[in-house]
Amino acid sequence: MKNSLVANFAPEIVSQLRNYGKLMRVDKPIGVWLLLWPTLWALWIAGEGSPDQGLFVVFVLGVFIMRSAGCVLNDFADRKIDPYVERTRSRPLATGAVAPLEALALFGALSLVAIGLASMLNKQAQLLAVVGAVLTVVYPFIKRYLSIPQFVLGAAFGWAIPMAFAAQTGDTPELAWLLFGIAVVWAVIYDTFYAMVDREDDVKIGVKSTAVLFGEVDLFVIAGLQVLMLLGLVFVGFRAALGPWYYLSVVVAAGMMAWHLWLARDRQPAGCFEAFLKNHLIGLVIFIGIVLQYTFNPVT
């Protein structure tokens, strides 16, 4: 009898766990990479090439947990909008595969894990974690009221940078906030590409985004933001006394930015989405440059 019950319920349990995984975007790790690379920039620079191993584990796990929690809350907030957007209508909450209360329970569970990870950090990093949590909660709802929700997303995604400096050094110097500003600008760049995919649907249903705000000058504004990001990265190299390996990575990143603009040149959804997906490679290239710099030409 027990075996029969297990046989009957096991497939349903597995199916629902898969739905929870989709809600957390486990099957779409792009958001993890976009959040992870700036975090690792900060850890390596704050640790001068040798970040604390325990902090590395805590922040990597924190990136996955907070991104998952953010996705769950985002889909909860958008559960009445997603069915009307081509790209999102198959999400678990939009289809009814997951109930709203289940989503909130999952968000609560992930939040408890995040609190546990934050408890392993020092006092200053814990205080910053509270701000990061607020940003994570606010972002999904802000796009109904502000035309620049991408800036709030950037703040949420970049907040791990001052946290990493605080956890590693006990301080948040100007360099930490410079990196944070760069992360915000970068988020506006890649999430505008992302929003360009849904622009027509967003206009119809009244969702606000920088893609809608920028309109016909979207690529021009993105190019300007890319230049601003590159200048910021150069200034980071100067302030952190980094050398040729790092600056080579900035040059490669510049070439990739031009490539992304080319992909989105016709403003077609497929090209814009590819530009968004490829953006995480910029973060990877910068991280490789930082690691190579500290490995072969350590700062003295």
pLDDT at 5: 46
- Nearest residue to 215 via CA among 226, 199, 197: 199
pLDDT tens by residue, 121-141? 999 999 999 999 999 999 888
Position 101, amino acid? L
Q: Report how far residue 110's alpha carbon sits from residue 126's, in angstroms, rounded to the nearest whole number.
A: 17
- pLDDT of amino acid 6: 46
pLDDT digits 0-9 by tens, 28-65: 999 999 999 999 999 999 999 999 999 999 999 999 99
Neighbours of 243 (CB within 10 A): 17
What average pLDDT does the chain have? 92
Range 24-296 has CATH code 1.10.357.140: yes
User: What angle, 0 to 180 degrees and rounded to 10, lies between the N-to-C axes of helices 123-142 and 100-118?
Assistant: 160
Classify residue 70 by its DSSP letter.
Answer: H
Identify whether the C-beta of residue 51 lies closer than 8 Å to the C-beta of residue 44. Answer: yes
- For the stretch 142-157, pLDDT in tens is 877 777 888 998 999 9
pLDDT mean over 253-280? 96
53 exposed, middle or buried (CB, 10 Å; 0-12, 13-18, 19+)? exposed
Rounded to the nearest 10°, the torsion over CA 244, 249, 254, 259 is: 150
Listed by start position, the domains of the chain span: 24-296
In the predicted model, is pLDDT for residue 235 greater than 70? Answer: yes
